Structure 1
Amino acid sequence: MVSKTTIKVEIYNLLEDYPETLRFINGLSEFGDLLFFGGSIRDYYLYNEYKKMPRDFDIAVKLHCKTEKTFESFVEKYNYKKNRFGGYKVNIENIEFDLWNLENTWAFRENKLLAEEKNLAKSVFLSVDGIVYNFNQDTLYDDDLRWSIENRQINIVLKDNPQKELNLLRALVFKKKYNLGFSPELKEEYKKSINMNSNFHEILYNLQFSHYKNEYLTNNDVRGELESILY
């Protein structure tokens, strides 16, 4: 695990050769608190170092009052696309950022949880995603990820999720990557999906190509994992 006070320094160190990206991060932080979540924070937290540049950076911005329009204008100066959930995908110096207005993230917009900073880590489907770092305030929320590491299991945090199949694929990838097991609750979610679709292993296998643009698990890997859950 890592002391929270090293994370901001390490983000700056990681990006020191990317001046435009650093300007973007610093500029963005003037509109509100930057809440880093997802793999870019998880892997450093687990390994105490950045072994390589993260695939992307997920950031929810807790905007200051009346800054939403100026925040959008700032982001739209860069190379960006809007996704179907209302967030921004921004590419700067070949580094990708997935940006959200905190209040517009799915679980808050759908009133699954109160739109509060501390609840962002509770809005994820998988416990291994349960980590959020406030870049401005240097505060860390890591209860669910820490639970996974201490118990060597991936659990469900918030069951309602618009991308459940994708998260079940990601759980298989994380199981292999971090050498974790599945909680009984997560196994039940797999069983429900398998019982609803006898071809579920094919769905998960093919989904990795649209999401990761890569093969992390072979078809046999996926089939074997699902069979082990059933039997």
Structure 2
Amino acid sequence: MTVAADVHIVKRRMDDYLWREKTLASRRLRHVLGTHFYKFENVAIVGGMVRDFARVGKTGFLSDVDLVVDAPPSEVADLARTIDAKANSFGGFSLAEPGWNVDFWALETTWAVREGHVRARGLPDFPRSTFFNYDAILYDIRKRRVLCGDTYFAGLHQKVMEINLLPNPTTVGNLYRAVRRILLWDLSAGPKLQAFIRDNLDESGFRDVVKADNRKSATPFLYKYKSAQELSQAVMCKEYRRSMATYYGAQLSFPGFCHPQHPV
């Protein structure tokens, strides 16, 4: 499936998967959303799922579901207690259901809004709060609409990932995600993201992202790079990463030669 051209195509892909498909995964997700979250007037799937449906369709999505609820934090916390959801690392809650893990937040408690970097009066403001431009998209499950900025699809089609909002709660986490996504999806980094990578991918940062990859990923590969300099060159230069893949051999599955559907 190709990169979506506009919000209408992403909406159709999301609508089909969430409300029409009869697969076990779709039916289970419908049950989770309908049972626990449809009671809220304003609730949206944010980030990874919508991003991947826009980028490559449902076959590219192999991750958890993230939700943001525009409701008083006390009401979201009450729901969490009722369904025995656990507090997660970033001020929200995590729910494990058959076939799905769901993380959810009240809009006011999402990091960038809570810290005052974004003024959010409703769900349409949320896309301004993500670190990466690729994540700056959401699907409103009640209104069945997709919301993102005017330049969102240009970034996808040009395969340029850029910083959307620089302040962030985890430099190592975003460095790890930047490196892994750029390599696996064969992207280029925009100017602000290039500067972020240059500033943070020193030898200490290199060790941190390799550790994160080994710990978090079912398909770790960053350990195959010998140094921060080698990894940085691969991230910054498509030609260099392809020459490395040729040099080391296809068995190493370097990005540009990896299957695009590995989770990040």
After TM superposition, the score normalised by the length of structure 1 is 0.84
Show CA shifts across 1:159-201 (max 9, x none): 000112211111122112322111121111112124xx43321
Task: Give the stretch that moved more between structures: 15-24 or 132-141.
Answer: 15-24
Superposition pairs for residues 17-56 of structure 1, below 5 Å? 17=24, 21-27=29-35, 28-48=37-57, 50-51=58-59, 54-56=62-64
Pair 1:137 & 2:146 matched = no
> How far, CA to CA, are the matches of 1:98 and 1:125 in structure 2?
18
> Secondary structure at 1:103's aligned position in 2?
helix
Superposition pairs for residues 65-214 of structure 1, below 5 Å? 68-115=73-120, 116-143=122-149, 145-194=152-201, 197-212=202-217, 214=219
Aligned 8 A contact 1:62 1:117 in 2 = yes
Measured after TM superposition, the shift of residue 123 of structure 1 is 0.8
Aligned 8 A contact 1:152 1:180 in 2 = yes
After TM superposition, the score normalised by the length of structure 2 is 0.75
1:10 alignment partner, one of 7, 11, 17: 17
> How far, CA to CA, are the matches of 1:96 and 1:172 in structure 2?
24
Show CA shifts across 1:58-117 (max 9, x none): 110112xx6x54543333343532013220110000310011111110111111111231
Q: CA RMSD in A?
A: 2.7
Aligned 8 A contact 1:121 1:131 in 2 = yes
Count of matched residue positions in the alignment of Structure 1 and Structure 2:
225
Measured after TM superposition, the shift of residue 41 of structure 1 is 1.4
- Runs of 5+ in structure 2 lacking a partner? 241-264
Q: CA 1:219/1:14 → structure 2, altered by over 3 Å: closer, same or farther?
A: farther
Q: CA 1:40/1:95 → structure 2, altered by over 3 Å: closer, same or farther?
A: same
Task: Give the stretch that moved more between structures: 182-191 or 96-105.
Answer: 182-191
Task: Give the stretch that moved more between structures: 15-24 or 53-62.
Answer: 15-24
> How far, CA to CA, are the matches of 2:21 and 2:92 in structure 1?
24
Measured after TM superposition, the shift of residue 129 of structure 1 is 1.1
Q: CA 1:52/1:171 → structure 2, altered by over 3 Å: closer, same or farther?
A: closer
Measured after TM superposition, the shift of residue 15 of structure 1 is 7.2
> How far, CA to CA, are the matches of 1:105 and 1:91 in structure 2?
20
Measured after TM superposition, the shift of residue 54 of structure 1 is 3.0
Q: CA 1:155/1:52 → structure 2, altered by over 3 Å: closer, same or farther?
A: closer
Aligned 8 A contact 2:13 2:53 in 1 = no
Measured after TM superposition, the shift of residue 13 of structure 1 is 4.6
Measured after TM superposition, the shift of residue 151 of structure 1 is 2.7
> How far, CA to CA, are the matches of 2:224 and 2:109 in structure 1?
36
- Runs of 5+ in structure 1 lacking a partner? none
Aligned 8 A contact 1:59 1:97 in 2 = yes
Measured after TM superposition, the shift of residue 52 of structure 1 is 6.8
Q: CA 1:123/1:69 → structure 2, altered by over 3 Å: closer, same or farther?
A: closer
> How far, CA to CA, are the matches of 1:222 and 1:56 in structure 2?
31
Q: What amino acid is the match of 1:34?
A: V
Q: What amino acid is the match of 2:67?
A: I
> How far, CA to CA, are the matches of 1:156 and 1:22 in structure 2?
32
